[in-house]
Amino acid sequence: MRIGILTSGGDAPGLNAVIRAAVLKGQTLNGQEFVGFKNGWKGVIEEDLIPLGRHEVRGISKQGGTILGTSRTNPFEGNGGPDRIREVMARNEIESIIVIGGEGTLAAAKRLSDEGLPLVGVPKTIDNDISATDYTFGFDTAVQIATDSMDRLRTTGDSHGRCMIAEVMGRHVGWIALHSGMAAGAHAILIPEQKTSMDQIIEWVTSAHDRGRAPLIVVSEGFELDTMDDPHHERGLDAFGRPRLGGIGEKLAPVIEERTGIETRATTLGHIQRGGTPTSYDRVLATRLGMAVLDLALDKQWGQMVALHGTDIVTVGFEEALGNLKTVPQARYDEARILFG
Ligand code: F6P
């Protein structure tokens, strides 16, 4: 019997390292055969799969994205759900599926697993918002890219005496903004966990400017001013019915410029944060998770996924990944806030 692997949801640097590690360990230790489903659950539903062997995974851990392709296809919602997946697995002699994905994907995996499907999982997201694991691969790369970008934005800020705003991803949590903002020495870090007034932002910008600095602000896409009821979004909903966030930086810039008289520009980093080569930290984490999830599949520990606790790879149930977003604790924000302005 073969093991299937799929990557679902947004791509994250390190996905290929997970795939490579699982395949190489399985082949080396057990002569295990693998297949890869193309484009997440879509490939399962459409029976679109490819053989995955040593040759296919050669040298891929340094490649960003996923060699299998991904999508945000929901396996339920008119796509056949567990019956269709069971049928495809049986016809292709697939005993279990390793599901690599974020919260939406793991929620679907939990539902399918409750219906008796033999699934094991690996948490994945650049947002680092899954509570069952201390870090997800992809996060470190996204933070590094955001930090490098802010270092570059400072060049223009310093040269023109402008206020520069970098908008980063992260959905409803501020981890990417917090870490990249601290690393880049931003004068304000605006995150979804901390509603903030425009007056406060102006105070930080003015204070930095008065000291002769070009103010640098990092804002998370899910940030809300204290006057807002929802995060800014203008691009509809994704396949799981969640709003596609983005654009808050461009909303803040003209207000800051008008109120301070400081020329202000916003840059949305967007998918650049998910692109390119994974950092070595992400490659190592992804490789360890890939090897560990293979053990879960061989041990038939259905409904379980691998996670990082401290420096150890542990096993947790799908349900532990869900419902509870891992938000930035107050203490982490407070320590960063001391240096704002
Ligand atoms: O969850 C990862 C993430 O990059 C979020 O930070 C962002 O809000 C979202 O995915 C973007 O999704 P898409 O690639 O579908 O536009």
- Ordered strands of the 216-220 beta sheet: 188-190, 216-220, 163-168, 264-268
Q: What is the DSSP string of 229-244?
A: SS--EEEEE-TTS-EE
Testing ligand 1's pocket by substitution, the residue of 233, 235, 244 carrying the most ligand atoms inside 8 A of its CB is: 244
Q: Among residues 11, 127, 129, 140, which one is catalytic?
A: 127
Domains in the chain (CATH in brackets) are: 2-137+278-321 (3.40.50.450), 140-274 (3.40.50.460)
pLDDT at 133: 96
Provide φ and ψ at 166, rounded to 5°.
-110, 120
pLDDT at 78: 79
From first to last of its 341 residues, what are the pLDDT tens digits of the chain?
Answer: 899 999 999 999 999 999 999 999 999 998 999 999 999 999 999 999 999 999 999 999 999 999 999 998 889 877 888 999 999 999 999 999 999 999 889 999 999 999 999 999 999 999 999 999 999 999 999 999 999 999 999 999 999 999 999 999 999 999 999 999 999 999 999 999 999 999 999 999 999 999 999 999 999 999 999 999 999 998 898 877 889 999 999 999 999 999 999 999 999 999 999 999 999 999 999 999 999 999 999 999 999 999 999 999 999 999 988 878 999 999 999 999 999 99
Atom of ligand 1 nearest to the CA of 129: 1
Q: Decide: 103 in ligand 1 pocket, CB within 6 A.
A: no
Testing ligand 1's pocket by substitution, the residue of 169, 221, 248 carrying the most ligand atoms inside 8 A of its CB is: 169
Distance 232 CA to ligand 1 centre (A): 14
Q: Is 127 annotated in the active site? A: yes
Atom of ligand 1 nearest to the CA of 102: 1
Q: Decide: 146 in ligand 1 pocket, CB within 6 A.
A: no
Query: How many angstroms separate the Cα of 241 from the Cα of each of 48, 73, 203, 237, 244?
Result: 25, 11, 37, 5, 9
pLDDT at 321: 81
Atom of ligand 1 nearest to the CA of 273: 4
pTM of the entire predicted model: 0.96
Contact between 262 and 256 under an 8 Å Cβ cutoff? The reply is yes
pLDDT at 242: 84
